[in-house]
């Protein structure tokens, strides 16, 4: 479907000997365009994540949001928690890798290195994907990605420039966790930036939920887009 200068479609792509699916949004035209993988929150591949993929397309990127829950979407925290717990993290990372490969193989995508960006659960997965040392990842952005232990081994695998974004009022992510990530990234001289927004909580970019914080969301979105323009150029 083509609207307002972008095209959207559901696509299938190879993933470690199997097939995965996702939502693709891209600018109209032949390109070349940089590309990003957009990784879902724990709700699933919902309207918000599809909207973010479309917003990236509007910014001149080819964006693919893989469906890591394989068709399941929820709005209830208890159900989201169950879906997250049932998800196989290694398989999810392989599907993200498949999405990276799909984008890098598309005609009109240049450079062939791809950005990864994730939110909530997806923020953690974007950091985990970067930590695999996948040379196809040209830049990574993690929005309020908790659960990452910034060990020297974890950080040593990260080759891509990383932007990490948090809300100061996010009770679910201890400050020592992201401060530890910043310290270890700096110690290993990785390309890294971190922004913490005062007055913002978890999921402050999600404009479909009460957690939305317009000022933090506007600034963080601008930074994320600029990060990819800078490091995928």
Please enumerate in sequence order all residues whose Cβ is within 8 A of that of 51, keeping only pairs 6 or more positions apart, or say none: none
Q: Please, are residues 166 and 179 in contact by the beta-carbon 8 Å criterion? A: no
Name the token pair of 9: 């479609």
DSSP string over the chain: -EETTEEEEEEEEEETTEEEEEEEEEESSS--B-EEEEE--TT-S-HHHHHHHHHHHHTT-EEEEE-TTTT---S-HHHHHHHHHHS-HHHHHHHHHHHHHHHHHSTTB-SSSEEEEEETHHHHHHHHHHHTT-TTEEEEEEES--S----HHHHHT--S-EEEEEETT-TTS-HHHHHHHHHHHHHTT--EEEEEETT--TTTT-TTSTT--HHHHHHHHHHHHHHHHHH--
- Options 48, 67, 120, 134, the catalytic residue: 120
What is the domain range of residue 60? 2-231
pLDDT of the chain along its 233 residues, tens only?
655 699 999 999 999 788 999 999 999 998 899 999 999 999 999 999 999 999 999 999 999 999 999 999 999 999 999 999 999 999 999 999 999 999 999 999 999 899 999 999 999 999 999 999 999 999 999 999 988 899 999 999 999 999 999 999 999 999 999 999 999 999 999 999 999 999 999 999 999 999 999 999 999 999 999 999 999 98
**Does the annotation mark 48 as catalytic?**
no
The neighbour count for residue 179, using CB atoms within 10 Å, is: 14
Q: What is the pTM of this model?
A: 0.96
How many domains does the chain divide into? 1
| CATH number of the domain enclosing 125 | 3.40.50.1820
Determine which one of 170, 193, 219, 229 is catalytic: 170
- Catalytic residue flag (residue 186): no
Question: Of residues 169, 202, 219, 229, which has the active-site annotation?
Answer: 202
Is residue 46 part of the annotated active site? The answer reads: no
């Amino acid at each position: 479907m083509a609207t307002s200068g972008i095209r959207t479609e559901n696509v299938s792509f190879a993933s470690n000997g199997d097939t995965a699916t996702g939502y693709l949004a891209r600018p109209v035209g032949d390109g070349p365009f940089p590309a990003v993988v957009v990784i879902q929150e724990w709700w699933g591949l919902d309207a918000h994540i599809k909207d973010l993929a479309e917003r990236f397309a509007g910014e001149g990127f080819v964006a693919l949001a893989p469906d890591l829950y394989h068709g399941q979407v929820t709005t209830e925290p208890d159900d989201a928690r169950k879906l997250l717990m049932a998800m196989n993290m290694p398989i999810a990372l392989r599907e993200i890798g498949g999405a990276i490969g799909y984008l890098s193989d598309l005609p009109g995508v240049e450079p062939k290195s791809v950005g990864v960006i994730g939110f909530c659960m997806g923020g953690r997965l974007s950091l985990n994907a970067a930590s695999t040392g996948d040379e196809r990842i040209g830049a990574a952005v993690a929005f309020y990605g908790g659960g990452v232990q910034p060990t020297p081994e974890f950080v040593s695998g990260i080759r891509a420039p990383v932007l990490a974004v948090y809300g100061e009022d996010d009770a679910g992510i201890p400050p020592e966790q992201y401060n530890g990530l910043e310290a270890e990234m700096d110690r290993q001289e990785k390309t890294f930036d971190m922004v913490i927004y005062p007055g913002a909580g978890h999921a402050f970019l999600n404009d479909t939920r009460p957690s939305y914080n317009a000022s933090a969301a506007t600034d963080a979105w601008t930074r994320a887009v600029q990060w990819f323009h800078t490091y995928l150029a």
